[in-house]
């Protein structure tokens, strides 16, 4: 019996798919290299942008003839296209789908497969034990001993409800996971060879806000920091309203917590920010960036920006452009606004910025950020940085600095999982080249893999 998982969207979906794979393997399934070879096909979907939703529909349409040819194949639609309340329209449009699963919830699929296999199995217990809760098997077999970095969801859903965002409607209200379960999952990942974890939440800074007995994100980071064998900790995504000095000081104080912050601004004009219901002004965001840089020396900062939001004038876009030029952040994730059915913006704000104008504004910001990132990265040339190596890509090994810069080096050794000093020899806006300045341990990665396979 084989399974195939297709994943689209955010890091949360990547983490969910890993746990679905681990749960399926517990039931006796093995991974397939293609959907055509599988007995179970899982489509883990995203709808945060129209392009992601279109990809999901394209995948479903592509599976229609396969399901007709092999009706015994189980097709599972999962994620935000289903949502926490279900999606009757999609179910009617694609009647060949066997199982519909909400985001981050393997139980409908496990229940369906258990019945087909005739297993006397407690589905709730299985879902908790092997997929989401105590984290005994957080990775599928083929990734154990090979995955250097992994994601751990710590907050599901969101209760903030920006006017453009579909996440609260599809993933439900904010729910923090118990710290004991997060710690257990982190230990299990380390035991399987992982050296770096990234904590995930739609607003990760709000971890524990819904559960008074839980620690804050700062407290959780301090507990994770004590895990032996865990070398690096990251978290995303932050929100300007919830990033506290306590959290910034924790990042600065704890060596394992990497000096990289992702905090979206979305727009640089106060009227646009108000229509987005972000809850801060451009000036408040400026002051936040200043606080971050003051409290965490050498920090790198990434942001998100949406262009073409309803009503955005040329002057308002220019203020966004000017803010990005002024702040000179390390990375900017750019998106063109697309209406999401059910959101406040889609219901009440006409999508009045033409598509060609959205593209023009997008490309202006893209060119600006490319220049800024290139200039920032040029400052690394000739300097030595610590790089955690993840995998070989063609002839080179790929890794990341503490500030999340992508670095490639050439080496005859197996560098997977090693943290080594690298002197940067060339830098572009999106990646850098370097030379290892300390002899790599040729047996290190092999030993790790053999221990955790």
46 in a labelled binding site: yes
Dist. CA 438–CA 230, nearest whole Å: 22
- Strands of 300-307's sheet in order across: 260-262, 300-307, 331-336
155 in a labelled binding site: no
Contact 203, 243 (CB under 8 A): no
Phi, psi of 194, deg, nearest 5:
-70, 135
Contact 131, 106 (CB under 8 A): yes
Dist. CA 325–CA 319, nearest whole Å: 10
10 in a labelled binding site: yes
Dist. CA 96–CA 102, nearest whole Å: 18
Dist. CA 135–CA 212, nearest whole Å: 23
Q: Six-digit token pair at 188? A: 């299990």
Dist. CA 254–CA 326, nearest whole Å: 29
Q: Six-digit token pair at 345? A: 């913006």
Q: Six-digit token pair at 382? A: 């000739």
* Bridge partner residues of 399 (DSSP): 389, 407
Coil, strand or helix at 366: helix
Coil, strand or helix at 206: helix
Coil, strand or helix at 34: coil
Q: Six-digit token pair at 181? A: 């379960």
Q: Six-digit token pair at 226? A: 């004590």
* Bridge partner residues of 44 (DSSP): 7, 78
Tell me, rounded to whole angstroms, the distance of Cα 13 from its chain centroid. 7
221 in a labelled binding site: no
Q: Which residues of 254-280 are buried (b: 16+ CB within 10 A; e: fewer)?
A: bebbbbbbbbbbbbbbbebbebbebeb
Contact 307, 362 (CB under 8 A): yes
Strand-strand pairing, 419-427 and 99-101: unpaired
Cβ partners under 8 Å of residue 69, min gap 6: none
Q: Six-digit token pair at 422? A: 């690298």
Cβ partners under 8 Å of residue 432, min gap 6: 377, 380, 405, 406, 407, 408, 424, 426
Contact 333, 365 (CB under 8 A): no
Output the known binding site: 10, 46, 80, 158, 162, 165
Output the known binding site for [4Fe-4S] cluster: 10, 46, 80, 158, 162, 165
């Amino acid at each position: 019996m084989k399974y195939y998982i297709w994943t689209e969207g955010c890091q949360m979906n990547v983490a969910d798919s890993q746990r679905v794979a681990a749960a399926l393997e517990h039931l006796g399934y093995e991974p397939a290299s293609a959907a055509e070879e599988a007995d179970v096909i899982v489509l883990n979907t995203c709808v945060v942008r129209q392009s992601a939703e279109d990809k999901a529909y394209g995948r479903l349409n592509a599976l229609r003839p396969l399901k007709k040819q092999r009706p015994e194949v189980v097709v599972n639609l999962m994620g935000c296209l289903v949502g926490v309340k279900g999606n009757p329209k999609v179910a009617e449009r694609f009647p060949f789908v066997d199982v519909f699963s909400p985001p981050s919830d393997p139980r409908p699929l496990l229940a369906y497969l258990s019945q087909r296999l005739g297993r006397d199995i407690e589905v709730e217990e299985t879902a908790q034990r092997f997929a989401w809760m105590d984290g005994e098997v957080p990775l599928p077999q083929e990734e154990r001993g090979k995955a250097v970095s992994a994601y751990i969801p710590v907050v599901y859903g969101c209760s903030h409800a920006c006017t453009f965002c579909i996440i609260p409607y599809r993933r439900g209200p904010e729910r923090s996971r118990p710290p004991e379960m997060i710690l257990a999952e982190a230990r299990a990942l380390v035991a399987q060879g992982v050296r770096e974890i990234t904590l995930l939440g739609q607003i990760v800074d709000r971890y524990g806000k819904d559960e008074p007995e839980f620690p804050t994100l700062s407290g959780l980071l301090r507990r994770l920091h004590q895990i032996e064998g865990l070398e690096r900790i990251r978290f995303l995504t932050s929100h300007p309203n919830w990033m506290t000095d306590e959290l910034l000081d924790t990042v600065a104080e704890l060596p394992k917590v990497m000096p990289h912050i992702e905090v979206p601004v979305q727009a640089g004009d106060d009227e646009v920010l108000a229509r987005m219901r972000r809850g801060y002004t451009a000036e408040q965001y400026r002051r936040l960036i200043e606080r971050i840089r003051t409290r965490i020396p050498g920090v790198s900062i990434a942001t998100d920006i949406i262009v073409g939001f309803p009503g955005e004038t040329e002057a308002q876009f220019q203020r966004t452009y000017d803010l990005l030029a002024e702040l000179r952040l390390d990375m900017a994730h750019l998106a063109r606004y697309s209406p999401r059915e059910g959101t406040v913006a889609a219901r009440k704000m006409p999508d009045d910025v033409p598509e060609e104008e959205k593209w023009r504004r997008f490309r202006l910001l893209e060119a600006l950020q490319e220049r800024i990132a290139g200039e920032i990265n040029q400052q690394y040339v000739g300097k030595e940085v610590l790089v955690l190596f993840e995998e070989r890509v063609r002839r080179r090994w790929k890794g990341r600095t503490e500030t999340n810069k992508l670095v490639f080096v050439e080496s005859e050794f197996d560098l997977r999982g090693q943290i080594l000093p690298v002197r940067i020899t060339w830098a572009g806006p999106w990646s850098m080249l370097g030379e290892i300045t300390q002899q790599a341990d040729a047996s290190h990665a092999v030993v790790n893999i053999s221990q955790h396979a």
